[in-house]
Amino acid sequence: MPTIAAHEFWIRTDRGRLHARRWSGAGPAGAAPLVLFHDSLGCVQLWRDLPERLAAACGRDVIAYDRLGFGRSDPHPGRLGGDFVRDEAYRDFPRLREALQLDRFVAFGHSVGGGMAIACAAAWPQHCRALIAVSAQAFVEERTLRGIRAAREAFAGPGELERLQKYHGERASWVLGAWIDTWLAPAFADWNLDEALRRVVCPTLAIHGDRDEYGSPAHPRRIVAMVQGPSTLQLLSGVGHVPQRERPRLADDIARWLFAAGIRD
């Protein structure tokens, strides 16, 4: 894989700074960049080499950022609200678009970040060229809650929280609580992305592993059934919640889909 140049940015918001990184692809100038939305425990660093692989395969820039409270971004001032997925599309993502002068973009999200990518595609239909949702949850499912409860028990073990501290520093406890406490709250039980999905008009690719411990194939099926634009479901046999690690050629799959969907700019 060729060396991909990367540049870091700090973006000011009304609640603190966001850390972002941009990898420069070798494709035509002006092509809509992929914007990556990380999962509940994620950050820019935890995408590992996926941004470079996507930039090389897709021939376009790739942008990833740490949500407020995660990674190298500033601490979050409080707790996540029940509308935190939708809020990302209307609060901090617009600051990113403004700072990096993103007129058009391809929204790419993993897990809850997939939900945020959906929310952004719905909020900015004239600017989102395509949507790629990887292992995204579209509603609250018992399998998701079982997986979170199991993770809560695992993180109670010795040394487990320290693994998160490597990426989130002293905010690791907040990051873990933001995930577990939000999803297991009774008030969150009826959360879903139905309203946003009905407003997505761009081509959509939903990627999901059939062994995903945090969501059954009902999620990608609901996504492709409810969006208004052309949609494709890619169900991966024998793959769990993190396809980008379990399927090394995932970036090539995405590049082929973008080409087939006619997303050339």
Instruction: Answer whether residue 20 is part of any domain.
Output: yes
For residue 160, pLDDT beyond 80: yes
pTM of this prediction exceeds 0.85: yes
Per-residue pLDDT at 171: 96
Instruction: Answer whether residue 101 is part of any domain.
Output: yes
Instruction: Answer whether residue 182 is part of any domain.
Output: no
Read off the DSSP letter of residue 119: H
Q: What is the pLDDT averaged over residues 196-216?
A: 98
Q: What is the pLDDT averaged over residues 65-92?
A: 96
Q: How many domains is the chain partitioned into structurally?
A: 1
Q: pLDDT (tens digit, 9 = 90+) per residue, 125-143?
A: 999 999 999 999 999 999 9
Instruction: Answer whether residue 226 is part of any domain.
Output: yes
Q: pLDDT (tens digit, 9 = 90+) per residue, 210-265?
A: 999 999 999 999 999 999 999 999 999 999 999 999 998 999 999 999 999 999 88
Q: pLDDT (tens digit, 9 = 90+) per residue, 56-67?
A: 999 999 999 999
Residue ranges of alpha helices (H) inside the chain are 50-58, 84-90, 93-100, 112-123, 142-155, 160-168, 172-184, 194-197, 218-226, 243-246, 250-260
CATH code for position 79? 3.40.50.1820
Instruction: At 58, list the tokens.
Output: 């897709």
User: What whole-number distance in Å separates Cα of residue 215 and Cα of residue 164?
Assistant: 22
Structural domain range at position 64 = 6-138+192-260
